[in-house]
Structure 1
Amino acid sequence: MEISTKNSNLGIINISPEVIEVITSIAVTETPGVHSLQNNFASGNIEKLGKKFRGRGVKVDLKDDEVILSIYVALKEGVNVHKVAENIQSNVNQTLRTMLEQQVKEINVHIVNIIK
């Protein structure tokens, strides 16, 4: 499934979920307080089967041209968890709007671990 953005005389632009995953991954790892993205159960099993999973820690669901993100992240010790999660949501939303002109319906941040 892809997001389609129509442009009057020029045609249609299709954006694949993999592009959204990569852009989201970069935005998350650039957020202060984030240690790393973490695999969720599905991505770990895909990699065990030999297929490279590019959006490690990021799951993209597309429904009716709306984007729903689930982000699995490990934070650094001593940070305000709630504030860092809000900053992740803000950074991802702003980055996707700037780079893809795409609105995001939901950005769900799952704190998987705290790393010393």
Structure 2
Amino acid sequence: MRIQEDKTNLGNIEISPEVLEVIASIAVTETDGVHALQNNFASGNFEKIGKKYRGRGVKVETRDNEVRLSIYVSLSADRNVHETAERIQKNVSQTIRNMTEHDVKEVNVHIVNIK
């Protein structure tokens, strides 16, 4: 599914979910207290066939021009889990809004491990 906006009379702007995954993964890794993004099934399979998957640990769902994300992370042991998860939500939402002008409906943070 593609997110579309008619910004000008020149045509539509389309942003693929893969681009949103990359933007979100950068925002997550820049968040203080995040140890690493956690691999999911799809990213592991892409990496096995020799392609580096940049959206690792991020799942994007787009429906009716709404963006919903699931983030899978390992956190640093010396940080407050709740505060770090809230920072992830805020950073991802704000970064996607700044780079694409789309509002994010949900950012679900799944804490897989603490290291």
TM-score clears 0.5: yes
Q: Which one-letter code corresponds to 1:93 in the other structure?
A: S
State the number of aligned residues.
115
CA distance in 2, matches of 1:74, 1:100: 27
Per the TM alignment, residue 45 of structure 1 is displaced from its structure 2 partner at its CA by: 3.6
> How far apart are the structure 2 equivalents of 1:51 and 1:65?
29
For 1:108 and 1:65, the matched residues in 2 are separated by 18
TM-score, normalised on structure 1?
A: 0.91
Q: Does 1:74 align with 2:95?
A: no
Give the CA RMSD over aligned residues: 1.3
Look up the match of 1:41. 41
Offset at 1:109?
A: 0.3
SS at match of 1:35: strand
Partner of 2:89, secondary structure, is: helix
Q: Distance in 1 between matches of 2:58 and 2:10?
A: 31
Range that drifts further, 2-11 or 70-79? 2-11
Percent identity between the aligned chains? 68
Letter paired with 1:95: T
Q: How far off its partner does 1:59 sit?
A: 0.4
- The yes-or-no answer on 1:65 pairing with 2:65 is yes
Which ranges of structure 2 fall in alignment gaps of 5 or more residues?
Answer: none
Name structure 1 gaps, 5 residues minimum.
none
Q: 1:111 corresponds to which residue?
A: 111
TM-score computed with the length of structure 2 as normaliser: 0.92
Deviations 1:29-69 (A, max 9, x none): 01000011011233324434555432100000111111110
